[in-house]
Copies of this chain bind each other. A is one copy, B any other.
Amino acid sequence: MKRGRVEMVTFASEVLRGNAAGDPHARRVPIYLPPSYDANGAQRFPVVYVLTGFTGRGRMLLNDNPWSPSLDDRMDALIAAGCPELVLVMPDCFTRFGGSQYVDSTATGRYETHLVEELVPWVDARYRTLAAREHRGIAGKSSGGFGALRLGMLHADAFGAVACHSGDMLFEYCYQVDFPKACSVLQAAGGPRRFLEAFEAKPQKAKDDLHALNILAMAACYSPEPAAELGVGLPFDLATGLPRADVWQRWLAFDPLRLLPTHAAALRTLRLLYLDCGTKDEFHLHHAARPFTAELEKLGIAHRYEEFDDGHMNVPYRYDVSLPELARALSA
């Protein structure tokens, strides 16, 4: 089997320099170059940006697991089986909150801008890509699926194809259900700052802590409040525990299900809009993907939707379905 290779580049972002969360502005970004990249020095390739889920960053897509190939091995195998060749870019948009949702936020940093305005042109300048939106795709899972879908809606000039695996949407079901627990954890910790510091200091991260971190991170991304602790507007009043309706409305403005009606035109221009979700998704995202795709249907927006018999975690094997689809759409 012919193998591609991975270049691990360190990208010094100007956009992220001095970000509010104090995260590094230089990021290590793995870039997968397919077998023919070195073999044929004249050929140009379509590119797919692959976005990781919450607590992830690009490098983790290369992690070794004896029963689940890393993304580069997976891509090698797909290409060997006839999939058109692709360059894969694996951005690092991690923050100390556990993620950025690939949006611009005063509490975390300008990750949307970093990705679209900074990383994309840099990759096109440095690598032999087909540097046009028709040949540039974006994909991801969970928060990465959210990111791919939302950026596909808002930056259809940059991306010509989208694959969204188990992407965050219908925020009532995927986030709101965790508010009371997150509130308990943050209250017990003495507020978000102390929670975060204690979390970082713990060698072992507890499940409840990760759930609370998730809600805190979403708040940092969707409802930053510069005057608040850590610059984050929580979706509940930390003193009383009661939900905050105003904050909740700010969150909903990011919900792909709510964004869809006003972004139908952008989605219509895509060469491929792929979505899938497990029928046992623990974040209930199948309950979101179904009305989302029903609405696509109603709006006459071409798409492909699959459900699979699994939950939310450990489903990178779904890239075996989406990457060939993306490759074909972006190679045409």
Contact = CB atoms under 8 A, between A and B. Distances in A.
Contact of A287 (B57, B98, B183): B183
A184 interface: yes
A133 interface: no
A272 B311 CA distance: 46
B64 A64 contact: no
Interface of A: 55-57, 59-60, 62-68, 94, 98, 170, 172-173, 176-181, 183-184, 200, 203-205, 240-243, 284, 286-287, 290-291, 294, 310-311, 314-315, 317
A81 B68 CA distance: 36
A284 B180 contact: yes
B64 A63 contact: yes
A134 B241 CA distance: 35
A179 B310 CA distance: 20
A67 B200 contact: yes
Contacts of A67: 200, 205
A290 B187 CA distance: 13
A292 to B, nearest CB: 10
B55 A291 contact: no
A284 B205 CA distance: 21
Contacts of A183: 287
A203 B317 contact: yes
A317 B57 CA distance: 21
Nearest to A289: B241
Given A173-B179, A176-B177, A180-B177, A287 B241 contact: yes
Contact of A66 (B57, B177, B180): B57
B55 A59 contact: no
Contacts of A242: 170, 287, 291
A176 B171 CA distance: 13
A187 to B, nearest CB: 9
Nearest to A59: B64
A203 B310 contact: yes
A287 B180 contact: yes
A61 B42 CA distance: 37
A39 B57 CA distance: 31
